[in-house]
Structure 1
Amino acid sequence: MRIPVPEHILPADQLGRVHFVGIGGAGLSAIARIMAARGLPVSGSDDQDTPFLPALRELGVTCHLGYDAAHVGDAETLVVTTAAREDNPEVLEARRRGLRVLPRSAGLAAVMADQRVLAVAGTHGKTTTTGLLTCALLAAGADPSYAVGGVLTSTGRNADAGTDDLFVAEADESDGAFLVYRPHAAVVTNVEADHLDNWGTEEAYHQAFDDFVQTLDRDGFLVCVGDDAGAARLAEAARLDGREVVTVGESDGVDLRILDLVLDGTTSRCRIQRDGEMLGELRLGIPGRHYVLDAAAALAMGLRLGFAFDDLAGGLAGFTGTGRRMELKGEAAGVRVYDSYAHHPVEIAGDLQAARAVAGEGRVVAAFQPHLVSRTRIFGEQMGIALGAADEVVVLDVYVAREDPDPSVSGATVADAVPLAADHVAFVPDQADVPAELVRRARPGDVVITLGAGDITAVGPRVLDLLGER
């Protein structure tokens, strides 16, 4: 459902009681949590009991299961997920009564009012980078509010209401939400075409990031990963526009440079140099080069804000990840099982590279669930090619989410493109059959990784159960 953004967004404390339609999602639950923590009256509904709801109920938030007009109660404002259908009874009731109806982006903007917003944007790595920046700032003595698209394992929450004027926010470009926030400063991790179901063309997608930069405060600044062509182009354009830009990466000429990178199993380390001066060593407890780039971007943001390198680096070293981003689900029968939100070819490639480092002498057994019909239609072949970095691949059918199914688009398109021998690739359309197929292929010492933005996250625990019975 597309809800227009109002021209003027009221601060959260002027919205009256707020009811969230889709409160169980990562985005809306974060906004609701911050409002509730500030003592504002909130409630919500969702069609499933998600992992975010117990923490909200502990704060006294009424969370209904199922949608019903009666759940709106005496609310004055509705904040609505983009996944809501046009015939949602709660939205229809709000419109009948003339209540204020806001999209997620406006709801987040309302809780960020009058704070210095630090927005984290990019095609890939937003959630991890937002989490890294939050943990770094907390370790440096700040107490920011934050809203992340996944649960920080260090805090057990995806959002908190801090006491200072900083607000760290994951800025989602998928539906244009990041154009609403008016941040003081921003990180852009990378820019590579995605969400073309919304933007239509690659050119329009890139233009959206140009427009995003224009929303930053003129006295603020932009951090870009210079190793990424799209982010580097954005940085150059921003500098030509007279904006302050800090670039990070391994490339020559960046402002904050990563040197002597070592990837060692589930950890990584490097040295950090700024404008020719060696600042010190950065150690991370998460695997993969792409996560080192995310950490460097968070570090650059913290340094530019005036925090000390050692404090920020200590926070980054203590970062243990976010839910569904190379998340270790457990180990059984000598097999480690990870879960990842990766759903774009670049993300798949990055997490499989990390899984390879974790596996060491073992093999990588990957299960992938394509997400969205439109994305699979456009990127299906590239997804399959990226999956070729694994040793064994199981592909599920498409998780259609907010779109209608298309018989001509299925997971078979992805499976057929995997550049492995036929006996190392399987298309298993029924998710119920996937755990047994993965267990059949896995050996002691292997890493099993489930990939996708849909409900494939449920497969890992079942794999562990079956391995335990082996």
Structure 2
Amino acid sequence: MAPLPPSTMTDPSLPSPTPDAARPEPLHYHLMGIGGIGMSAFARLLHARGARVSGCDESVTELTAQLLAEGIAVGRGHSAAHVTTQPHSRIDVLVASEAVPKSHPELVAAREAGIEVRPRMALLDELLRAGPSIGVIGTHGKTTTTSMIAVALAGAGLDPSAFVGGIVPEFGSNARVGAGPFVAEVDESDRAFAELGSETAVFTNAEDDHVGGNQATYWATVEEQHAGFARYVAQSGRVLLCADWPGLADLCAGTQETLSYGQAEGADYRAVHLRPDPDGTSFTVTFQGEALGEARVGLPGVHNVLNALAALAVNHLYGGAFGAAAAALAAFGGPGRRWQRIGTLNGALVIDDYAHNATKVAAAVQAARQTGRRVRVVFQPHRYLRTQQSWPRLADALMDADEVLLLDIVAASEPPIEGIHTTLISDRMTANGHAGVRYLPDREEVLQVLRETAAPGDVIVTMGAGDVWKLARELVTPDAAGARP
């Protein structure tokens, strides 16, 4: 493949895995919001490469405690004092997401002190361009697909580095440091992602999530967002796109090299002869008509077959042994909050899933149906704007569940929107004939209902991007209710 085009972002060199002996001491990076799943992964990668790393976050969590245990300094709260008093020595680079206002005192203090303020996407850009790289883009499926690619490559002995928006059980972390290709989840909610590129872009889908409103993490229109996807793949060496998702090929028209994966006729990499069972799906993988071998994904749902197929396709492109990669994927239980098995309650299987837009919700319900159990969903709508845009689709996506218990909308820092309420979803479902939907804003009532009625033939799925995950853990082990996934 041709080399990647020059980056349009700022590009000071990252520290190498072994600090330069000519430099008296390594760069000091300070990460705002270090307790977030993305920033914590950056912290781990930088720390492993020899940089000095510190950070701050509003609250103390299990994740920040893990960073402290790994030797990364973490302060509670955000303050200009982190810069002016230098509690962890002088900062060379302050890293912040686009969601942090430019007027934030910590950023202002850094600029006044002559400290470089670097967007988090600039860091990711440098990591992607430092060597062979795989960037996973799309509006959903990124975390699972990125995890599966990293697990498959590691299983095949290719020793990848990884940057993942979830905890990968095989790595015990959301980051992995290796000598092989760098695999990264590239989040389209940060509009600067469109300035990036990778050696291989894995393009899962393109929908209308993170669109509308005036927030830093939202696009003005779906057309602008899709143009961002097109720009990313145009700046990449090649694209591996999902042939089952309409419209992706049009967005990839300007790429150097295009390959596809899916169930669709004509896809370069195909999953055929699917054999679903309650715990997952076995299938055959072909490349341009020739069988590569048998594979299995231990997570239910056709969407997970496609995620695993993408991982096996990337492994094939990078020369990994198919059998070893397939074996690693067959044993893979999924990243945190993606069809995560929490435990049981009265014989019922308790699952937690991050699904929060209509497509993800429908896929999670379909996965639950594959188990053959009675499907009971606890759904927490996420953000007022997203609910305003998609409540009819959310209601329709939940119709295939046997029972749906609906919590209040989690604001995620958004102001309420008049007339937008969870009951829009429940009322539509009832009007469409669903007899098992209830709006239950009292969490204790949700717990009581499930504890009294859970049975061995049930699967209970807590679903949403907010804090609904706590309920799953309270159902299984009440003492662990405060533990973060």
Identity of aligned residues (%): 38
Show the counterpart of 2:107. 91
1:225 corresponds, among 233, 236, 242, to: 242
1:155-234 pair list within 5 angstroms: 155-164=171-180, 166-197=181-212, 198-216=218-236, 220-234=237-251
Show the counterpart of 2:369. 356
CA distance in 2, matches of 1:228, 1:91: 41
CA distance in 1, matches of 2:116, 2:417: 35
Show the counterpart of 1:279. 292
The answer to whether the Cα contact below 8 Å between 2:227 and 2:251 also exists between their aligned partners in 1 is no
The letter of the residue matching 1:366 is: V
Q: Report the secondary structure of 2:15's partner residue.
A: helix
Residue 269 of structure 1 and its aligned partner are, at CA, apart by 0.4
CA distance in 1, matches of 2:264, 2:127: 37
Show the counterpart of 1:70. 81
CA distance in 1, matches of 2:11, 2:424: 44
Which consecutive unaligned segments of at least 5 residues does structure 2 have?
1-6, 17-25, 213-217, 481-485
CA distance in 2, matches of 1:79, 1:46: 13
Residue 303 of structure 1 and its aligned partner are, at CA, apart by 0.8
Q: Answer yes or no: is 1:300 the counterpart of 2:302.
A: no
1:391-470 pair list within 5 angstroms: 391-418=402-429, 421=433, 424-465=436-477
In structure 2, do the counterparts of structure 1 residues 388 and 234 end up closer, same or farther at CA, with 3 Å as the change threshold? same
Moved more, 51-60 or 84-93: 84-93
CA distance in 2, matches of 1:438, 1:83: 37
Residue 108 of structure 1 and its aligned partner are, at CA, apart by 2.2
Q: Report the secondary structure of 1:90's partner residue.
A: helix
In structure 2, do the counterparts of structure 1 residues 378 and 163 end up closer, same or farther at CA, with 3 Å as the change threshold? same
Q: 1:340-398 deviations in whole A, cap 9, x for unaligned?
A: 1111101000011111112x1x3111011111221111011111110111111111122
Q: Answer yes or no: is 1:245 the counterpart of 2:245.
A: no
The answer to whether the Cα contact below 8 Å between 1:435 and 1:460 also exists between their aligned partners in 2 is no
1:267 corresponds, among 271, 274, 280, to: 280
Residue 88 of structure 1 and its aligned partner are, at CA, apart by 4.0
Residue 203 of structure 1 and its aligned partner are, at CA, apart by 1.9
Show the counterpart of 2:19. none
The answer to whether the Cα contact below 8 Å between 1:248 and 1:297 also exists between their aligned partners in 2 is yes
CA distance in 2, matches of 1:418, 1:174: 30
Residue 91 of structure 1 and its aligned partner are, at CA, apart by 2.5
Q: 1:419-447 deviations in whole A, cap 9, x for unaligned?
A: 56565111223445432344355333211
The root-mean-square deviation of aligned C-alpha atoms, in Å, is: 2.3
CA distance in 2, matches of 1:168, 1:355: 29
CA distance in 1, matches of 2:98, 2:457: 41
Q: Answer yes or no: is 1:79 the counterpart of 2:86.
A: no
- Flag as ranges the 4+ runs of structure 1 deviating above 6 A: none
In structure 2, do the counterparts of structure 1 residues 436 and 215 end up closer, same or farther at CA, with 3 Å as the change threshold? farther
The answer to whether the Cα contact below 8 Å between 2:233 and 2:255 also exists between their aligned partners in 1 is no
Q: Report the secondary structure of 1:400's partner residue.
A: coil
Which consecutive unaligned segments of at least 5 residues does structure 1 have?
none
Greater helix fraction, Structure 1 or Structure 2: 1
Q: Report the secondary structure of 1:173's partner residue.
A: coil
Moved more, 95-104 or 289-298: 95-104
In structure 2, do the counterparts of structure 1 residues 83 and 331 end up closer, same or farther at CA, with 3 Å as the change threshold? farther
Q: Report the secondary structure of 2:420's partner residue.
A: coil
Moved more, 226-235 or 37-46: 226-235
The answer to whether the Cα contact below 8 Å between 1:171 and 1:177 also exists between their aligned partners in 2 is no
Q: 1:215-271 deviations in whole A, cap 9, x for unaligned?
A: 11xxx3211110111334335x2xxx3622111111111111111101111121001
The letter of the residue matching 2:418 is: P
Q: 1:64-115 deviations in whole A, cap 9, x for unaligned?
A: 1222222232212111134445664422322332321122212222444522
In structure 2, do the counterparts of structure 1 residues 233 and 51 end up closer, same or farther at CA, with 3 Å as the change threshold? farther
Q: Answer yes or no: is 1:313 the counterpart of 2:326.
A: yes
2:37 corresponds, among 26, 31, 48, to: 26
The answer to whether the Cα contact below 8 Å between 1:368 and 1:451 also exists between their aligned partners in 2 is yes
2:12 corresponds, among 10, 15, 32, to: 10
CA distance in 2, matches of 1:159, 1:190: 24
Moved more, 430-439 or 33-42: 430-439
Show the counterpart of 1:121. 137
Q: Answer yes or no: is 1:340 the counterpart of 2:353.
A: yes
In structure 2, do the counterparts of structure 1 residues 223 and 280 end up closer, same or farther at CA, with 3 Å as the change threshold? same
The count of aligned residue pairs is 454
CA distance in 1, matches of 2:369, 2:377: 11
1:354-393 pair list within 5 angstroms: 354-358=367-371, 360=372, 362-393=373-404
In structure 2, do the counterparts of structure 1 residues 293 and 386 end up closer, same or farther at CA, with 3 Å as the change threshold? same
CA distance in 2, matches of 1:97, 1:410: 46
CA distance in 2, matches of 1:311, 1:461: 34
CA distance in 2, matches of 1:289, 1:422: 24
In structure 2, do the counterparts of structure 1 residues 251 and 78 end up closer, same or farther at CA, with 3 Å as the change threshold? same
Show the counterpart of 2:155. 139
TM-score (norm 1): 0.91
The answer to whether the Cα contact below 8 Å between 1:349 and 1:386 also exists between their aligned partners in 2 is yes
The answer to whether the Cα contact below 8 Å between 2:165 and 2:185 also exists between their aligned partners in 1 is yes
CA distance in 2, matches of 1:286, 1:7: 38
